[in-house]
Amino acid sequence: MKELTLEFFKLRRKKIGWMIAIFLAAEVLWIFMITSYTLARHPENVGWEYVLLMLSTLNGLFLPIISAVVVSRLCDMEHKGTTWKMLMATNVSRSRIYLAKWICANTLLLCGAAFQIGALSAFGVLKNFSDPLPLALLVRLLAGTLLTNLAVTALQQWISLTFKNQTFALTLGMAGGFLGVTASFFPASIRKLFVWSYYTEMSPIGMSYNALAETSRYFVLPAQAGNWVAALLMIAIFYTAGCLHASRQEI
């Protein structure tokens, strides 16, 4: 697909890959530090479930912001360079360009998510967690992260191509990060309305806290078909609305 190749070519000097790597490395190091500290004090509370739940929770903070920055950079090139008219002159449909940008953004984010999973897997093995590597849980977490990224980037791309000033799109990303990390404090009927909450909603791990004993228990959650359906619906709505708007927008 030549449009997708063109999107990656235009990013060659934008250093977006470095930005994603730095943000996600900071997130992973944060998890390493907290887990190591907890292992030293309460080793019985730390295992694969602990680090996977922490990753999905922190993804709710970091990934909405990273997604906003990546999509904003992809779309801002067309606004600042006024390249839409030149692209249209090549007789390429706007919908194909729109799809290429969306795939490009999510390919970069998927690479970042795979890096997270690999880093945490290596960390758990080095720390000699008692249970074997939970491949099924890792795949579920990666799939949930990918699906949520697809929905978040669909929304961000719609906003970024609608407004030339990217301040609004970036502000939306920061607001999404706040909602993503605090979503668990909202009632389920409310938090499921926010696309950013699905970083934690799609987590394969749950937690219960005993206030009297001051202990936490981590457990595997069954896959919730409703969450997957809701995420897919959001992807369809945001992507279709954004693509139609971009196709009809005056250049």
What are the tens digits of pLDDT across the range 99-119? 999 999 999 999 999 999 999
Mean pLDDT confidence for 168-197: 91
pLDDT band, very low/low/confident/very high, at 89 (cuts 50, 70, 90): low
In the chain, pLDDT over 70 holds for what percent of residues?
92
In the chain, pLDDT over 90 holds for what percent of residues?
53
Identify the pLDDT of residue 250: 67
User: What gap in Å lies between CA 179 and CA 245, rounded to an integer?
Assistant: 26
Q: How many domains are contained in the chain?
A: 1
Q: Which long-range contacts (CB under 8 A, 24 or more apart) does 167-170 make?
A: 169/68, 169/71, 169/72, 169/75, 170/68, 170/69, 170/72
Predicted TM-score (pTM) of this structure: 0.92
Closest to 76 in 3D by CA, of 168, 174, 171, 160: 160
Task: At 217, give phi and psi (nearest 5°).
Answer: -125, 130
Mean pLDDT confidence for 17-21: 90
Of residues 179 and 188, which shows the higher confidence score?
Answer: 179
User: What gap in Å lies between CA 6 and CA 4, rounded to an integer?
Assistant: 5
Highest averaged pLDDT of the listed ranges 43-52, 134-143, 181-190: 134-143
What are the tens digits of pLDDT across the range 136-156? 999 999 999 999 999 999 999
Note down the domain range covering 45.
2-248
Q: Specify whether the CB–CB gap between 169 and 68 falls below 8 A.
A: yes
What are the tens digits of pLDDT across the range 227-249? 999 999 999 999 999 999 888 87
Side chain identity at residue 25, one-letter code:
A
pLDDT at 93 over 60: yes
Identify the pLDDT of residue 128: 86
User: What gap in Å lies between CA 172 and CA 156, rounded to an integer?
Assistant: 8
Identify the pLDDT of residue 21: 92
Neighbours of 183 (CB within 10 A): 21
Q: Crossing angle of helices 135-162/48-81, nearest 10°? A: 20
What are the tens digits of pLDDT across the range 210-230? 656 566 777 888 888 999 999
Secondary structure element (H or E) that encloses residue 216, with its range: strand 215-220
